[in-house]
Amino acid sequence: MLDVAITRRLGAFRLDARFTAGARGVTALFGPSGSGKTSIVAAIAGLTRPEGGHIRVDGVTFFDAAARVFLKPEKRRVGYVFQDARLFPHMTVRDNLLYGWRRVPAAERRIAPEPVVALLGLDHLVDRRPATLSGGEKQRVALGRALLAQPRLLLLDEPMASLDAQRKAEILPYIERLRDELAIPIILVSHAIEEVVRLADTLVLVKDGRVQASGPMEEVLGRLDLGPMFGAHALGSVVGVRVAAHDDADGLTALAFDGGELTVPRLDLAIGTAVRVRIPARDVVVALEPLPERISVHNRLRGRITEIAETADGFSEVRIRVGSADIVAHITRHAARRLELTVGQEAAALVKSVAFDRASLAFTAGAVTPPRPGSAAGAGP
Amino acid sequence: MDILSPMEWTAVMLSLQVAGWAIAGTLPPAILAAWLLARLDFPGKVLLDGLFHLPLVMPPVVIGYVLLLLLGTRGPIGGFLYETFGIRLIFTSQGASVAAGVVSFPLMVRAIRLSIEAIDRGLEQAARTLGAGPFDRFFTITLPLMLPGVVSGAIIAFASSMGEFGATITFVSNIPGETQTLPLAIYSATQQPDGDAIAARLATISFTVSLVALMASEVIATRVRRMIGQ
C-alpha cells in the first residue's frame, strides 16, 4: 500500500499531490511534461524533501512533515529506474547489477541475480561496460540493478522516453513480466497513453502539480470530464477481451467480450488469450437504428448512451454502454445535435478494424502466459 | 653514470624524493579541498577558494618567508612540532617537501576540482537509492570517476615541485645533499665561474623531466579515463 500526500514549492510551481495505490500492480503517473510527475517520484525516493505531508509505503513512513520524519534515500529500499539509466560507467554490467545487491544483508535478499539476469535477457552482457550498450540494453540493466537492491517499491521514471519505437517494443515486454511475476508494486511515470494502457492497473492523472484524478485505469480513462486533460489523442476506452477466432484467409482476428465482437487485423495470439484493447475516441462513429448496411465499417457495437459531455472547443464526447464496457466517441457537437442524441437512447458504436491501437494492446495480469520477449509480443503480422 | 658528478646526481635524486613526498603529502588534502569547493556551499567559500589559490599568485619568496615564520623552530607550528616530536623542518629535505607541496597545491586542487565537477551527480543519486551511504558513495563512485583529474593533477604538481625554487631556498636554504634540489643546484652552478657545463647538464635533465611528466600526465589520464569507461 502506497500513501502519498506531499506539498512542495519550486519557484512559481506548486506541487500538491495526493494519491494512494495498491500493494501490487502498476500505478501510472500520467500527465504532460512539466506537470510534476518526476518531482513526485523523486520525493518518494527521498532525493528531494517535500515541505509538507507524508509518504508511506507498506506501513513504513518515509516522510512525515508533522512528525519530522525523513528517511534517507539509502535507507528507503526504493528501486529507481531513471530516464537516463545512470549506469556506473567505471563498472561492468555485472558490478552495476550487484551494486545494490551487495548492500543488502544476505538474510533479506529475496530476488536472486540469476533469475533477474534471465528475466531481462542480460546473460551475454554481464562482462560488458555500459558505454558499449544500446539504449534499450542500458535500461534493462538499470531495471535489473534496481530489482536486485530488493526494493519495496519500483519507480520507473519514463524508462522508455529516450528510446525509439523499436527499443521501446524491446523493453515493454520485460516490464510486463516484472509486473506479472514479481509481487513488487511499480510506479510508472509516463506521458504516453499507449504505455499506460498497456502496463497500468491504476491511473493517477497529474497536471500542474496536482492529482486531477486517480483510480482503476479503465475507469479514469473513460471519464468524459477528464477528456480535455488527456487531449483529443489520448481520450478513448479500454476494453478487456478474449481472442475468439482467427480468419487466416482475410488476415483478421475476432475478439469477444460481453458486449459483442470486435474484428481487428490478425494478431499473433493463441485463442483464449485475454488482452486489453484501447479504442481511441476519435475513431468511433456513433450511429442510430436502422444501421447503414452498405458501409465498410466492420465493428458495430450496439448499446445505450449513458453520458454526453460537451467540450469547450465545440466537440461532444458520447459514452455508450456496450455489455459491461464503455465505448467513448469523440464527435462534433454539430453531429450530436443533428442526430438528437440523448442519454438513455439506443445507439451503436462503429469502429473501423484498422483503428485499434496496437501499441497499447496489453496482456492482462492473470492471462495466459505472455509471449517471451523477442517474439511478436503484442504485435500482429 | 659518468655524465653526472656525484654532487649533481645527488641533486637529481633529492629533487625526485622531495617532489615525491610533496605529492604524497598534498594529495589527500587537495582531494578534500577540491571536493569542498566543488560540492559544498558554505559561507566563506570564496575566501577559502582564494586562500587555496594564493600560492599560485604570490611570489614564491613570500611563501618561503611565511613558512619560515610559521614552521621555523620558533614559529607557532614549527615550535610545537620541534618541542613535542623533535621534528625540525627548516634546513631539511622534509622542509623542502613542504615548500614544494604548498606551491603546487593549487595546481592539484584545480585539476581535481574540474574532474569532480565533470561527474554526473545523477550517478551518486543512483548509488544512494541503491543503499550506498556518503562514504560508500565517495569511495565507490566519486573517487573512481575523478581519478583522471587526480592523476593528471598529481603529475603536474610533481613536475612543478621538481622546479620549485623561491620558497625552497627561502625556507630551507641551499644545502647540498639536504635541500639542494635541481633548480637550486643549477642556480649554484651559474654562480660559479666554471659552472656553465654543470648548469647546462642539470637544465637538460630538468627540461626532460618536465616534458616527460607532461606527456605522462596526458597518456595516463587517457588510460584512466578509458579504464573507467569514459
CATH number assigned to the domain comprising residue A70: 3.40.50.300
Query: In this predicted structure, what is the pLDDT of residue A229?
Result: 67
Cα of B137 to nearest chain A Cα, Å: 10
Q: Which residue has the cell 542480460?
A: A122
A285: left (phi over 0), alpha (psi -120 to 50) or beta: beta
**Mean pLDDT value across chain A:** 84
Number of domains observed in the structure of chain B:
1
Q: Are residues A198 and A273 in the same domain?
A: no
Question: Which residues form the domain of B96?
Answer: 6-227
Q: Indicate yes or no: CB of A73 within 8 angstroms of CB of B125.
A: yes
A370 part of a folded domain: no
Residue B194 has pLDDT above 90, yes or no: no
Is residue A371 in a domain?
Answer: no
* Grid coordinates of B229: 569507461
Whether residues A144 and A178 share a domain: the answer is yes
Comparing A193-207, A275-289, A354-368, which segment has the lowest mean pLDDT? A354-368
**Interface contact flag, A86 B120, Cβ < 8 Å:** yes
- Closest by CA position to B161, among listed B33, B42, B60: B60
| Cross-strand bridge partners of residue A305 | A320
A266/A180 same-domain check: no
Q: With 90 as the cut, is the pLDDT of residue A270 above it?
A: no
Domain membership flag for residue B52: yes
A341 plus A314 within the same structural domain:
yes
Q: Which of A192-196, A316-320, B32-36, B154-158 has the lowest mean pLDDT?
A: A192-196
In a domain, B170, yes or no: yes
At residue A62, the pLDDT reads 95
Q: How many CB pairs (< 8 A) connect A and B?
A: 66
For residue A232, name the pLDDT band (cuts at 50, 70, 90). Answer: low
List, in order, residues 6 or more apart from A247 with CB less than 8 Å away. Answer: A253, A254, A266
Domain finish residue from A221, A250, A278: A221
Residue B190 lies in a domain: yes
Q: Could B130 and A100 be called an inter-chain contact, meaning their C-beta atoms sit closer than 8 Å?
A: yes
User: In which domain, by residue range, is A155 found?
Assistant: 2-221
Task: Read off the pTM.
Answer: 0.77
Residue of A nearest to B132 (CA): A74
The CATH number that applies at residue B108 is 1.10.3720.10
- The dihedrals phi and psi of B171, each to the nearest 5 degrees, come to -85, -50
Q: C-alpha grid cell for residue B119?
A: 561527474
| Residue B224 DSSP one-character state | H
pLDDT in tens, B65-98: 999 999 988 888 888 888 888 888 888 999 999 9
Complex-level ipTM:
0.80
pLDDT, mean of residues A67-84: 93
Q: Do B145 and A89 lie within an 8 Å CB cutoff?
A: yes
- Residue A181, C-alpha cell as written in the block: 511475476
Angle between helices B45-57 and B6-39 (to 10 degrees): 160
User: Looking at the domain assignment, is residue B1 inside a domain?
Assistant: no
Q: Which pLDDT score, from 0 to 100, does residue A77 have?
A: 93
Q: Do B229 and A78 touch (CB under 8 A)?
A: no
Instruction: With a cut of 50, say whether residue B1 has pLDDT above it.
Output: no
Q: What is the pLDDT of residue A369?
A: 36
Inside any domain, residue B197 = yes
Q: How far is B123 from chain A (nearest CA, A)?
A: 6
Say if A375 falls within a structural domain: no
Mean local confidence (pLDDT), B101-109: 94
Instruction: State whether A265 and A183 are in the same domain.
Output: no
Q: DSSP alpha helices (H): ranges in chain A?
A: 37-45, 93-101, 113-119, 135-148, 165-181, 193-199, 217-221, 227-230, 333-338
Cell numbers at A264, concatenated: 481487428
Residue A103 at interface with chain B, using a CB cutoff of 8 Å: yes
Is the model's pLDDT at A371 over the cut of 60?
Answer: no
User: Residue A99: which of B122, B130, B133 has the nearest Cβ?
Assistant: B130
Does some domain include residue A226? Answer: no
- CA-to-CA dists, residue B65 to A8, A117, A173, B57, B61, angstroms: 55, 63, 71, 15, 6
| CA gap A358, A360 in Å, rounded | 5
Q: Is A318 helix (H, G, I), strand (E, B) or coil?
A: strand
In a domain, A322, yes or no: yes
Dump pLDDT digits (tens) for B110-130: 999 999 999 999 999 999 999
- Distance separating alpha carbons of residues A323 and A260, to the nearest angstrom: 7
Q: Are residues A197 and A325 in the same domain?
A: no
Q: Flag whether A233 is in a domain.
A: no
Q: Binning pLDDT at 50, 70 and 90, where does residue A365 land?
A: very low
For residue A23, pLDDT over 80 is answered with no
Residue A178 has pLDDT above 50, yes or no: yes
How many domains does chain A contain in total?
A: 2
